[in-house]
Amino acid sequence: MKLFEHDDKSIALVVDDNPESLGMVASALEAQGMTVLVARDGRAAINLTNRVQPDVILMDAVMPELDGFETCRLLKSGPNPTLAPIIFMTGLKEQENVVKGLKAGGVDYITKPVEIDEMLARLTTHVVNSKLLKSARQAIDAFDRAVLAFDGKGDFAWGSELGMAVLKDGSLDLEDPAFQAWLLSCVGQPVSACEPFTSDKVEFLYIGVSIAQEILLKVVSKQGVSNEETLQKAFNLTQRESEVLYWLTLGKTNRDISTILSLSARTVNKHLEQVFQKMGVDNRTSAAVMADRRLNETQH
């Protein structure tokens, strides 16, 4: 039985300067129903992924000129890093080389000579996980969410189409020490406890950590009409009601909102009652979703 059915054909890129190894691995993957692309060196692999996005990459670590570790690092960095999991194939068995491969962005390590059954078992798991992550990211794009993701060290991982568009216009260096300190300080905190990070043109909102352990941010352009003004006009709210609703979309609790706006908890509750009535909803979740959708529409 093939691991990859024809109607959902996965693409594998095999990178190896050894023709015999390259042919053996490619044949085994094709026998499992995969479409196989091959590259004899790192530069060729990078050029291929710029044209076709594979579902998984099998990478020889030891190659002339550009070795597998550096190729992996280049594939996983830059403005459009590959989403494909990279599995190293190598005769290097020392722990330091395993660590080097993982630090470069690889997800797994297979020692040569390659055991086909072991390779297929490992590869299947990574392809399934990769496709689930791709589906989640495509869903974010489909719903016009301006989202950026960072790894546990604060390095940029990926961004939705709208998130990248807002970021491009915002001219903020993602390696700025102040931004990095804020980003890492949010991890482990409740969403409501992390204040937004604001630059001249862009506001970043912490929205949590994904199942893939990526730090997720919503990015909002500050150009033009303010978020509060947008909500006020969209739902016929008073200025204060729009402020309460905006902070609600950021995941703030009633207690947080009362502190931020210097209002009593009772007053916040009364404002929310009016907001719910004007929006035609009966709970804070529905109100937050409607407001968030409207804000994203205006930022598109």
We report the CATH number of the domain holding residue 113 as: 3.40.50.2300
What are the strands of the beta sheet with 215-221, ordered from one edge?
Answer: 156-159, 147-150, 215-221, 202-209, 197-198
**Residue 48 domain flag:** yes
Q: What is the pLDDT of residue 70?
A: 92
More confident position, 233 or 4: 233
DSSP β-bridge partners for residue 86:
57
Nearest Cα neighbor of 198 from 213, 214, 176 is 176
Q: Residue 279 has what pLDDT?
A: 93
Q: Burial, 12: exposed, middle or buried (Cβ in 10 Å; 0-12, 13-18, 19+)?
A: buried
Q: Name the one residue in this structure whose structure tokens are 């691991």.
A: 3
Tell me, yes or no, whether 125 and 13 share the same domain.
yes
Quickly state the pLDDT bin for 5 (edges 50, 70, 90): very low
Structural contact between residues 16 and 25, judged by C-beta atoms closer than 8 angstroms: yes
Domain final residue, candidates 140, 168, 198: 140
C-alpha–C-alpha distance, residues 148 and 109, integer Å: 28
The tally of CA atoms less than 13 A away on the side-chain side of residue 256 is: 17
Give residue 1's pLDDT. 44
CATH number at residue 198: 3.40.1840
Could you read off the pLDDT of 232-283 as tens digits, one per residue?
999 999 989 998 998 888 778 888 788 778 888 899 999 999 999 999 998 8
One domain for residues 257 and 240: yes
Element (H, E) at 39: strand 35-39
pLDDT of residue 136: 54
Q: 163 in a domain, yes or no?
A: yes
Q: Which of these, 116, 59, 66, 45, lies nearest to 92 by C-alpha position?
A: 59
Domain annotation covers residue 268: yes
Please tell me whether residues 136 and 157 are part of one structural domain: no
Residue 266 counted as domain residue: yes
Long-range contacts of 255-260 (CB under 8 A, 24+ apart): 256/192, 256/193
CA angle 148, 221, 275 (to 5 degrees): 100
151 in any annotated domain: yes
State whether 31 and 133 are in the same domain.
Answer: yes
Pairwise pLDDT comparison (241 vs 124), residue with the higher score: 241
Domain end among 191, 221, 251:
221
Task: Judge if 50 and 127 occupy the same domain.
Answer: yes
Number of domains in the chain: 3
What is the predicted pLDDT for the residue at 156? 85
Give the chain's mean pLDDT. 81
With bands split at pLDDT 50, 70 and 90, how would you rate the model's confidence at 225? Answer: low
Whether cis (ω within 30° of 0) applies to the bond prior to 81 is: no
Identify the pLDDT of residue 6.
42
Per-residue pLDDT reduced to its tens digit, 125-138: 778 777 656 655 55
58 and 158 part of one domain: no
CATH number at residue 250: 1.10.10.10
Q: Environment class of residue 93 by beta-carbon count within 10 Å: exposed (0-12), middle (13-18) or buried (19+)?
A: exposed
Which of 202, 221, 240 finishes a domain? 221
Contact (Cβ atoms closer than 8 angstroms) between residue 86 and residue 33: no
- Total Cβ atoms within 10 A of residue 221: 18
Same domain assignment for residues 168 and 266: no
Mean pLDDT of 92-109: 79
Question: Is 37 part of any domain?
Answer: yes
Q: What is the pLDDT of residues 23-36, one digit of tens each?
A: 899 999 988 888 89
Q: Is there a domain that residue 1 lies in?
A: no
Q: In this predicted model, which residue has the larger pLDDT, 167 or 178? A: 178
**Containing structural domain, residue 288:** 227-299
Give yes or no: residues 247 and 185 share one domain: no
Judge if 58 and 183 occupy the same domain: no
Residues 109-136: what's their mean pLDDT? 76
Tokens 């500050």: give the residue: 222
Most confident of 14-23, 78-87, 195-204, 259-268: 14-23
Report yes or no on 40 lying in a domain: yes
Clarify whether residues 148 and 136 are in a common domain: no
The predicted pLDDT at position 34 comes to 86
Of the pLDDT bands very low, low, confident and very high (cuts 50, 70, 90), residue 142 is very low
CA separation (Å) from 239 to 145, 227, 236?
25, 11, 10
Q: Based on the domain organization, do 211 and 252 belong to the same domain?
A: no
Claim to verify: residue 14 and residue 26 sit in the same structural domain: yes
pLDDT at residue 37 in the model: 93
Backbone angles phi and psi of 64, in degrees to 5 = -70, 155
